[in-house]
Amino acid sequence: MLTLLLLFNRATLEAGYECESQYFRHVSGRAAVCKALSDFLQEPFRLWLWEHYRGYEKKGIQQNWRILQHFNTSSEDYTVIFTAGSTAAMKLVAEIFPWTPNCLDNTGSRFCYLTDNHTSVIGIRGITKIINVLSVPVEPEDMLQSKNLESDYHHQGEYHKTPHLFCYPAQSNFSGTKYPLAWIEKIRLGKLFPLGTPGCWFVLLDASSYVSTSPLDLSSYQPDFVTISFYKIFGFPTGLGALIVSNRVTHLLRKNYFGGGTSAAYLSGEDFYVPKASTSDRYEDGTISFLDIIAIKYGFDTLERLTGGMEHIQNHTHTLASYTYSVLSALRYANGASVIQIYSDTEFRMLDVQGPVINFNVLDESGGIIGYSQVDKLASLYNIHFRTGCFCNSGACQKHLRNSNMDVKQNLMAGHVCGDNIDVINGQPTGSIRISFGFMSTFEDARVFITFIIECFIKKPTYKLYATESLQRQYQTNRLTESDTSKEVQYLQNNRSHCEDVCLPHNHILNNVSMASNICTCKSREISSLSTNHKAITLAAIYLYPIKSCAPFQVSQWPVTEQGLLFDRNWMIVNENRVCFSQKNEPKLCLIHPSIDLKKNIMIIKAKGMDPIETPLMDDSDAKAPVCQNKVCGDRVHTYDCGEKIADWLSRFLNRKCHLIRQSSNFSRFANANRKGLLGVPHSTLSLVNEAQYLLVNRASIVYLRQQLESSDIEIDQLTQRFRANIVINGSQPFEEENWAEVFIDGLHFQVSGKCNRCQIICIDQHTGEKKKDVFQTLSTCREGKATFGMYLLNSSCSLYPALLKVGSPVIFAASASRQSKNTAK
């Protein structure tokens, strides 16, 4: 899902910063944050420390008073307990609530929660389960039809003293639906039972989303527990929240663990412990984040000064959300089909039932879902930043997207996990897009987003569609014939600055490579009968990328190992925290040119304005220490540092501290081929690649894409390099490779593992590092919203390694089963 971060495209106002991006997710305004931080930092640092050691209690009382004042209550009725965030506050309630376990003579407590709740609420089940307390989900519709649950029961008799806890959000973080605060009193007085179960019901109100744009009056609505997160109100400090507890229930709470600062007295040699009298002191274990707590005052002061109060914020943000909802709902394609599918329980007419949150997906002209990941990539080209996923609210996500429990489990088996980019499975969305408005949001922000939707999905450029014969004729002018292929091979062999021949006798790794054609051991097929195309397809180019995200090294022939092309993506550049750089965050990587000299057993690295530097090909993972761990696409990989000399070289060129690391040879990382339903590739090992051992692109597909570009100044070879393929073929039809299941080159057998979902890197000119959005936008448009280009390949288990791949070799394919069935039907 895309959380449209509607923070403020204006200059960052009072702080004097310029903001070139639109953030369509409200976590308060950047300007307000900067102003509050400025005021905060004017207070001398030594004063903070002095007050911590000599007078923090007085300062803490001031902050508590300011928080309670904001919610229109006082210390007579409520106590503030600082936590690490709203999640920590939820966990604390679960640990201190006076649960009664189920037993033979007592039905015990119930933990009841609305299904439209954050993960932090659902997670309380983990605590109640081990103490034998039943957890029961309740659908919002059941609570909204509350007449069926209303009762005349009151708290009478022992049975009705059994404590139960009901938790619901004041505002859904998924759809922005506001649930009635009137439930609180009805449940507390025994007039409304979430389960139809009498007892002493307590209410835990998750107000994290609600209080960011709406006033919460705790003098009118008095839940027993309220959880909040301060950064959602005014943007900082992060990692600080609070549990606001009603004083009428504090005497019922119980605590097992006690940390520093919570005890009046205790003995280490005897089971003796007396807690402090103050509720907040009793439950704030250890040293709390006192410097962040001091900052809260400045956040509230700035919020009040800029807006005049939460009522003004509520009116302003609701107006923006209502306007945007109306426009998005009205957007239509030329055929009358809706552009946006909105997931909402209201029509944004009343601010007391709907918050400034819009949740939706973008549709194509036929009504199909355009995945949130694809919309996210397009938005980044417009400097619009989204968050995607299910927003840690699986209940609301399932309801609105109509995904059953079985769907969720099957999606997990298909490889989809929370937070990844798998946005559509079997035509069904796994998430959606969310936009939220804050007190600094403007109509201009809303218009920027609406304009983005119109430009990218409605005002599509007219495709240059050609008849098959015409396209083939135009393609022939860019396609290498067999004679041209021979000339290119000769050119590559003579041009050592671009390409390196394999000199087998001089490299110990390649002693077993045969110069003869490789032989696939798969005996069950006649390879010559697999292809159905009439024109020969050949291997046009081979690229390897020794250093991940850096420039390619083009060769005319190259060894293939069980891991893929020899030395392909064996190295990568990381920052001081060992996080890998990519061209997304450092476009200058494309200007770093590594090349492999197999004769000298070295890798040579060049860059403009820098003297060349060398590093040995010999793996020193056994000799060098320490071996460290890094992550590539979520996988942990073992690497080692290539030394300070080359780190200094790279740091000077990139103008930032970095290191060159290499994958350890004694570490194996495996492709998840079984997840993709592939046979014969159960143990395909990977280098530092993202998805698969090889990426194949079709030159015919590149020519087709170039025809769609409004700007024709980009050359075919330049466009090819943007897709960073290992294998470039001379196909006869654009995108015919997407129908292949297997590929044979030089007798080597490859399994097709799927399409490559493209990111913003294809917008980067690989010769200059400059970024333009036209290539990605055009690709997405001409592929009907899916920016896929190229096919991933994996080694098949029936091939023998090491082997040799050569430019000019014939390419033979086996069509996928779906393709073959279509041909049979014809």
Secondary structure of 296-355 as H, E, C letters: HHHHHHHHHHHHCCHHHHHHHHHHHHHHHHHHHHHCECCCCCECEEECCCCCCCCCCCEC
Q: Are 743 and 527 in contact (CB under 8 A)?
A: no
Report the pLDDT value the prediction gives residue 683, as an integer from 0 to 100: 66
Report the pLDDT value the prediction gives residue 553, as an integer from 0 to 100: 96
**How far from 724 is each of 256, 540, 549, CA to CA, in Å?**
57, 14, 9
The residues pairing with 752 across neighbouring beta strands, listed in sequence order, are 793
Report the pLDDT value the prediction gives residue 75, as an integer from 0 to 100: 92
Q: Are 673 and 681 in contact (CB under 8 A)?
A: yes
Report the pLDDT value the prediction gives residue 4, as an integer from 0 to 100: 34
Q: For residue 165, which of 127, 110, 119, 207 has the smallest C-alpha distance?
A: 110
Q: Are 172 and 135 in contact (CB under 8 A)?
A: no
The residues pairing with 274 across neighbouring beta strands, listed in sequence order, are 265
The Cα–Cα gap between 603 and 460 comes to 45
Which secondary structure element, helix H or strand E, spans residue 232, and what is its range? helix 231-234
Report the pLDDT value the prediction gives residue 486, as an integer from 0 to 100: 44
The Cα–Cα gap between 544 and 565 comes to 7
Q: Which domains does the chain have, with CATH numbers?
A: 41-305 (3.40.640.10), 469-825 (2.40.33.20)
**First-to-final CA distance of the chain:** 40
Query: CA quadruple 50, 52, 56, 62: dihedral positive or negative?
Result: positive
Percent of the chain that is helix, strand, coil (3-state, to 5): 35, 25, 45
The Cα–Cα gap between 686 and 663 comes to 10
Burial 736-756 (b: 16+ CB within 10 A, else e): bbbbbbbbbbbbbbbbbbbbb
SS3 state of residue 727: strand
The Cα–Cα gap between 79 and 306 comes to 28
The Cα–Cα gap between 582 and 601 comes to 26
Beta strands in 598-644 (DSSP E): 602-606, 613-616, 627-632, 635-641
Of residues 392, 520, 580, 756, which has the active-site annotation? 392
Query: Phi and psi for 54 in degrees, rounded to 5?
Result: -110, -25
Q: For residue 581, which of 761, 420, 417, 421 has the smallest C-alpha distance?
A: 761
Query: Mean pLDDT by 10-residue block, N- to C-terminus, for the chain (826 residues)?
Result: 32 35 56 53 47 48 86 95 94 95 81 95 94 93 67 47 93 96 89 77 96 95 96 85 95 89 89 89 84 84 88 93 92 92 93 95 93 90 83 94 93 88 90 92 90 84 39 40 43 41 45 47 49 70 96 94 91 89 92 94 95 89 59 76 94 94 83 51 77 93 89 83 94 91 87 90 91 86 83 80 86 71 41
Q: Are 711 and 774 in contact (CB under 8 A)?
A: yes
The Cα–Cα gap between 569 and 571 comes to 5
The Cα–Cα gap between 262 and 81 comes to 12
Which secondary structure element, helix H or strand E, spans residue 127, and what is its range? helix 125-130
Q: Are 360 and 342 in contact (CB under 8 A)?
A: yes
The Cα–Cα gap between 674 and 325 comes to 43
Strands 3-6 and 433-437 come out as: parallel
658 is catalytic: no
Question: Nearest 5 degrees, angle CA 79-CA 81-CA 84?
Answer: 155
62: tokens are 């001031």
